[in-house]
Structure 1
């Protein structure tokens, strides 16, 4: 069966929707779990962070696995794991099973985070790679928004089991959709044949000339006799791998997950009721989706570094303004201002750091270790998520809200300095050109191109 190329990218990015849903849904569910399964500050942190612990393991293991068995087969496994985790959470009789379900979901989350960006990047033509790679982040934001809407829909009945269990629906769609998705052409060229790679590229590329050029570059790179492990261990890749890992860590600790995980708690601290708090997160989620749609259209028109620096300036300004106003007016008098400032933060994050990380990570790494290296960076990213999930509730209890936001503002400034000094520009170059430049720059073995 022939499949439309747009549908390939949408189905390929569906793992991002599940990641976003399971990330966002916990914020509303936490308001009601305690009324059924007693929670304290420690167990609440475990419920949130169990998914992240699973994601760390899932990301670390899925990268090498995707290089070995292919991106498509791994997505099939990920869909099954999503289904199992969702059902465990929905029917959990106690805190232990609930945490286990969150952990299982985390395995799938980590796997999809490491695999989906690689798949989209390897499927996309060079001139559209930024836009198509941004689909992953768009699906993440849609997943978060759907989670917030589901949370609001089940607020009246305090239906936290429905909130957590409805992740089964997109999981089943992904499981069915995988039957119609082709394998990555770059993986096919390495493990099957040139003909198999060409057949897939004919779906997504506009001309035979483009395909011939990409195949030629892929062939030149593949002539370098290296294994995935030898590339990962090589001194020439190490600096880029470190930069990729720090880049991924910064994306998570600039403050976005504190807002996604704990927005209802922040609004509650500002004096808003449960339903109003969840409705506030729906507004934030809607803004997130809308600006990410814009990001899909501008990702290939503006330099990646320029977008990231602009985002940092906007996020830091939003946090600092919010902190100053809360300090001068008091948090309960600043509920509207908090919603506006958090929305501005989301605007700048959704236009820049949200999508650009998922575009750039697979761009930065060489073909033979792209899945594994992206998996390692994603592992570090999930460690950052875990750090925020564990520390934010403690900070929010120990410090006044404005000081918490100022801490994230300082982190945002450090992230901006890192981008300016260490991050390479990748817009407008093929994956093979980027790899060739990396090898040349680091005196690694290079093919004749």
Structure 2
């Protein structure tokens, strides 16, 4: 059967409910991703007070997780190709739990950084494996909304971290070890991911690539109607049988179109990070203090961006299978760049001490986070899970997300110093300039992926048709 042949339509039934359960369990990986990256926002100040951290060591503690996540993404993608998506998620749950214990029990700076590195390796691995697992389990008609649930889980984890931080910081802020309790909460979803994934199936596409046809068909029959399962497997097997598709990194670099799609993936991932979204997620309390809030008020106000991120994620899921990915990305970068400009202007026009200054900047930060979540964050992770051919999917998303996390880490390390050097005005005007460059990149380089099977999309990318079609419709 040709990869582009029509498939039998989706039908309701127990297989749809089973697919929903699989998505919920896998998304505990996204929840852990979100909580572990967000908890530092409120834990950093009490942690610094207890352990005597300065601006540099604060940046090291925050960014150590992020830089480790870059390597976790690169290694996690390759290991998931070798060992399987499900196996990797089970292993990552263990790493999440061990990393949490090390951080909670850390007696000082060195052990704390070691624990954050372990958590970073797990976060990076989850950032590549969960989207790929969901994309490979999903029918193409609802792939965007199903894969996008992982990003909603990520921001839900960040919101949970903000709420836990606010509650514990308000109720137990007088205790030296309150930040340890904030981190300890992370152990619960790690246990849930471990237990849940032991009962979930392996990706049928990974099984088919390993020659395990019967196992792949058995999995597909649990999440598709019988006719649809057979038809999808036939498409997958056609792609698996293509010898030219079997490529490592050296072969990717020799192929014009594979090299180009790898660069597109890297560009999309890095552009999303350079909006500065994680400057807000990691240092939101510091940004709000800089705008004029007291420390306690900033800790509570910081919940607002977390709430709008979850709301935006839900809206994004509703749009994901209705609006083209390129359109979504273009709208997102336009809105975030506008928000950056407005935050910069507000910080100039409303001088420090003006009573409305903190509330105006908070409103603009909320608008920025809402724009990111509605149009960029979900779309970015869905897009990265779709664009790479089967035989290099783990490698491709691993390299793209490696670059994504490196950009994230550089921002996490540099932002406190950037804020101290140029203030809110300079920082957000800089983000606006980067946003303008990202808009040009999306408009000229990014091919569309919505409405195509992974196998049909792979055929278009390997042949270069996807880029030519983008030039025609873009």
TM (normalized to structure 2)?
A: 0.90
Contact 1:231–1:368 under 8 Å retained in 2:
no
**Unaligned stretches of 5+ residues in structure 1:** 444-449
Query: 2:287 corresponds to which residue?
Result: 266
Match of 1:216 among 234, 250, 262: 234
| Cα distance change, pair 248–283 in 1 and its aligned pair in 2 (3 A) | same
Partners of 2:221 and 2:463 in 1: CA distance: 31
Partners of 2:79 and 2:432 in 1: CA distance: 37
Q: Tell me how far 1:232 sits from its aligned partner.
A: 3.5
Q: Tell me how far 1:362 sits from its aligned partner.
A: 2.0
Partners of 1:331 and 1:212 in 2: CA distance: 65
Query: 2:445 corresponds to which residue?
Result: 422
Query: 2:411 corresponds to which residue?
Result: 388
Alpha-carbon deviations, 1:306-348, whole Å to 9, x = none? 1111111111111111211220112443101111101111111
Aligned pairs for 1:57-206 within 5 A = 57-156=71-170, 157-158=172-173, 159-205=178-224
Q: Does 1:15 align with 2:33?
A: no
Alpha-carbon deviations, 1:383-411, whole Å to 9, x = none? 01111101211110000211111111111
Partners of 2:218 and 2:353 in 1: CA distance: 60
Q: Give 4+ residue runs of structure 1 displaced > 6 Å after superposition.
A: none
Contact 1:14–1:139 under 8 Å retained in 2:
yes
Query: 1:408 corresponds to which residue?
Result: 431
Partners of 1:331 and 1:244 in 2: CA distance: 41
Match of 2:337 among 304, 311, 316: 316
Q: Tell me how far 1:195 sits from its aligned partner.
A: 2.0
Q: Does 1:338 align with 2:361?
A: yes
Q: Tell me how far 1:233 sits from its aligned partner.
A: 4.3
Aligned pairs for 1:18-37 within 5 A = 18-37=32-51
Contact 1:232–1:373 under 8 Å retained in 2:
no
Contact 1:231–1:369 under 8 Å retained in 2:
no
Contact 1:90–1:162 under 8 Å retained in 2:
yes
Q: Tell me how far 1:123 sits from its aligned partner.
A: 0.4
Partners of 2:18 and 2:463 in 1: CA distance: 38
Partners of 2:115 and 2:166 in 1: CA distance: 22
Query: 1:446 corresponds to which residue?
Result: none
RMSD in angstroms over aligned alpha carbons?
A: 1.5
Alpha-carbon deviations, 1:327-373, whole Å to 9, x = none? 01124431011111011111111111100111111211000110111
Contact 1:27–1:260 under 8 Å retained in 2:
yes
Partners of 1:176 and 1:370 in 2: CA distance: 26
Query: 2:10 corresponds to which residue?
Result: none
Q: Tell me how far 1:234 sits from its aligned partner.
A: 3.8
Q: Tell me how far 1:192 sits from its aligned partner.
A: 4.4
How many aligned residue pairs are there? 441
Q: Tell me how far 1:227 sits from its aligned partner.
A: 3.5
Partners of 1:104 and 1:29 in 2: CA distance: 18
Match of 1:348 among 371, 389, 394: 371
Tell me the SS of whatever aligns to 2:323: coil
Q: Tell me how far 1:297 sits from its aligned partner.
A: 1.2
**Unaligned stretches of 5+ residues in structure 2:** 1-14, 467-474
Query: 1:248 corresponds to which residue?
Result: 269
Partners of 2:252 and 2:102 in 1: CA distance: 36
Tell me the SS of whatever aligns to 2:448: coil
Partners of 1:268 and 1:179 in 2: CA distance: 44
Q: Say which is worse superposed, 9-18 or 226-235, in terms of deviation.
A: 226-235
Contact 1:270–1:332 under 8 Å retained in 2:
no
Partners of 2:308 and 2:223 in 1: CA distance: 30
Q: Tell me how far 1:231 sits from its aligned partner.
A: 4.7
Partners of 1:115 and 1:281 in 2: CA distance: 30
